[in-house]
Amino acid sequence: LGALRQIRSIRIWGVKGSYCECLCESLRKMEFLSNLSITASDEEEILHLNDLNPLPPNLETLSLGGRLAQADLLLGAATADGQNHPLCSVLLYWSQQEEDPLKSLSRWSNMTKLVLTRAYVGVQLVFLQGWFPSLKELSLRDMPHLTQLNIHQGTMTS
């Protein structure tokens, strides 16, 4: 996999946590990667993807299916350069995070699409002013514990 340095789009499924270190090492070599999809072997599998930090420099679409170990480290990656990073589409499935993922995700100012499916097990999501200024599409699905959604004025201004 590491020899595919010029690849622009890749979808990998059936990933086990034990594969993650080698997988991240290979993905870091793919500097032209613009579309990345990683799906765990099952929805309970924990993906250790923090070695992808920072994310590939040309990554536009990131789709992750599975529980994420320390998701805030991965999703908040390259925050110093988040304003200029091309990441515009994030899809999270099955991650079942206990911490509100929006704080980490809000650092990606170019994000136009955010899909969260069974990505959060908390009761409240809060969108603060100035977050997601370019967001055009938001989808929140299958979060049975979510009872409160707060969207402050000045959020998602596009």
Res 44: pLDDT: 87
Encode the chain in three state secondary structure.
CCCCCCCCEEEEEEECHHHHHHHHHHHHCCCCCCEEEEEECCCCCEECCHHHCCCCCCCCEEEEECEECCHHHHHCCCHHHCCCCCCCEEEEECCCECCCCHHHHCCCCCCCEEEEECCECCCEEEECCCCCCCCCEEEEECCCCCCEEEECCCCCCC
What's the alpha-carbon Rg for the chain, to the nearest Å?
A: 15
Res 157: pLDDT: 85
Q: Is the peptide bond before 54 cis (omega within 30 degrees of 0)?
A: yes
Res 158: pLDDT: 78
Res 72: pLDDT: 63
Q: What confidence tens digit (pLDDT) does each residue in 62-97 have?
A: 999 999 987 766 676 554 544 568 999 999 999 999
In this prediction, the residues of the chain whose per-residue pLDDT falls under 70 are: 72-74, 76-84
